[in-house]
Structure 1
Amino acid sequence: MTLLVKDPGTRIDYEFDWSAAYPAGQAVTASDWSAEPDEAGGVSVAASAHDLLQSTVTLTGGIAGRVYRVTNRVTLSDGQIDERSMSVRVEER
């Protein structure tokens, strides 16, 4: 699992590249992002997007000193469902 550091005042994009994980011809057809724990002032998903190979999320907020788990769940063109997570540590910079 990837560990990233984020300032609580920033609005920043992160991306997962799904193309290396699947054989040629597979495509991302749906993508959903979530952040846990879900709490007031915590890291939240402000926006998300995907193309056939990558999925991107824009994260905002977070409480300094906390660690959040951000998960991307995708559906592939053949109906398979997969997910990846990253840890986001929030620190004042």
Structure 2
Amino acid sequence: MTMLVKDPGTRIDYEFDWGAAYPAGQAIVESDWTVAPDEAGGIAVAATAHDLLCATAALTGGIVGRVYRVTNRVTLSDGQIDERSMSLRVEER
């Protein structure tokens, strides 16, 4: 799992590129983002988007010193479901 650093005052896009993981012809038809822990003042998903191969989420907030797990769960055009996660540590930068 990837560990990244996020400033609590930023709103920034994070993306997973699913294209290289699946055979040609597979496409993302649904994408859902979650953050754990889900807490007041924690990292929040402000917006999401996806195309056929990539899923993106704009993340805001976070409590300094905390580590959050951000997970993207996708459904592919053939019905397969997969997910990837990253860890975000919140620090003033």
TM range (shorter): over 0.9
- The percentage of counterpart residues that share the same residue type is 82
Match of 2:39 in 1: 39
SS of 1:60's equivalent in the other structure is strand
Q: Runs (4+) of structure 1 moved beyond 2 Å?
A: none
Paired residues in the alignment total 93
Find the counterpart in structure 2 of residue 49 from structure 1: 49
Which consecutive residues of structure 2, in runs of 5 or more, have no partner in the other structure?
Answer: none
Q: Distance in 2 between matches of 1:39 and 1:82?
A: 25
Letter in 1 for 2:23: P
CA RMSD of aligned residues (A): 0.3
- Structure 1 residue 42: Cα displacement: 0.2
* 1:26 counterpart residue number: 26
Give me the TM-score of the superposition, normalised by structure 1. 0.99
For residues 49 and 35 of structure 1, the distance between their equivalents in structure 2, rounded to whole angstroms, comes to 16
Question: Equivalent residues in 2 for 1:1-93 (5 A)?
Answer: 1-93=1-93
TM-score (norm 2): 0.99
